[in-house]
Structure formats: structure tokens, C-alpha cells
Amino acid sequence: MGNLLSQIGQRASEVQPALADPFDVGFSTVMAVGVVVFILALTMFAVFIPAMGRRREARAVASK
């Protein structure tokens, strides 16, 4: 089991430089943008879903 894990670790360390090159400058930027987009999406859900629910309730009350 440990042998298998060390092989996977070796493979990962061989692959790593190839992956790290393009992301060297941009990875932190990509992460920051991702976090901002995620927070915006959470805010949208928190604001708009209750508003939609209230609109539906208002329409139901108005139709009575």
C-alpha cells in the first residue's frame, strides 16, 4: 500500500512542473476571481430566492 502511494507521489511530482508553468502567474488570480464569483453567486441566491418567494406570496394574496 505504501509502495503504491509513493509511486503516485512520484508521478505527481513528475507531472507537477508541467502543470505549474502556465499557472505560475495566473493561479492566484484565478483563485481570487473564483472566490469573488462564488461570493457573488451566494449573495445572488441569498437576495433573489427569498424575493421570488415573496413575489409569489404577494401574487397569491392579490388573487384572493
Does a structural domain hold residue 41? yes
Query: Which strand (E) or helix (H) includes residue 32?
Result: helix 2-63
Looking at the structure of the chain, the number of domains it has is 1
Which three cell numbers mark 27? 493561479
Residue 44 sits in which domain range? 25-64
- Does 18 map to a domain? no
What's the rounded mean pLDDT across residues 2-6?
67
Q: Is residue 60 part of a domain?
A: yes
Give the span between the Cα atoms of 34 and 40, in whole angstroms.
Answer: 10
51 lies in a domain?
Answer: yes
Is pTM beyond 0.85? Reply is no
Is the residue at 42 inside a domain?
A: yes
pLDDT in tens, 11-63: 555 555 555 555 566 677 788 889 999 999 999 888 888 777 777 777 777 77
The per-residue pLDDT for 21 is 56
